[in-house]
Amino acid sequence: MVFKHQQFYETPPEIEVEFPPHAVLEGLVSDALASAGGIDASDVTVTATGSIITLAGAVQRQEEIPRATEVAKGIAGVGEVRNEIKVTGTEQSRRAI
């Protein structure tokens, strides 16, 4: 077998990264939020810019907001968490819980 370097018309191929590092970090934080107790993160979006994580979206209870920050900070690679989550639940739904 003869080994030849990968070439395309005499120029080396450019390898595209399918999952850039920020996407991996976003996935880790999203997975942690989905499996963490004390928060319903189904309407929360996670965006990574370097090691800064931005949480946005909506939750039903005020107590879920600091919980989301706590969970995100617990992930390796997260340097800072910017929490922009809003509460959309009504007073009655808060009392019921």
State CA 7 to chain mean position distance: 37
For residue 87, what is the domain's CATH number?
3.30.1340.30
- CA-nearest of 84, 23, 92 to 61 is 92
Structural domain for 31, as ranges = 21-96
The reply to whether 7 falls in a domain is no
Considering only residues 20 and 50, tell me which one the structure prediction assigns the higher pLDDT.
50
Using CA atoms, how far residue 9 sits from 3, 13, 41, 93, in Å, is 17, 9, 49, 64
The reply to whether 11 falls in a domain is no
Question: What is the average pLDDT across 15-34?
Answer: 82
> In the chain, how many H helices and how many E strands?
3, 3
Structurally, how many domains does the chain consist of?
1
The reply to whether 2 falls in a domain is no
Q: Looking at residue 22, what is its pLDDT?
A: 86
Q: Looking at residue 72, what is its pLDDT?
A: 96
Q: Where does the pLDDT of residue 45 fall: very low under 50, low under 70, confident under 90, or very high at 90 and above?
A: very high
The reply to whether 69 falls in a domain is yes
The reply to whether 9 falls in a domain is no
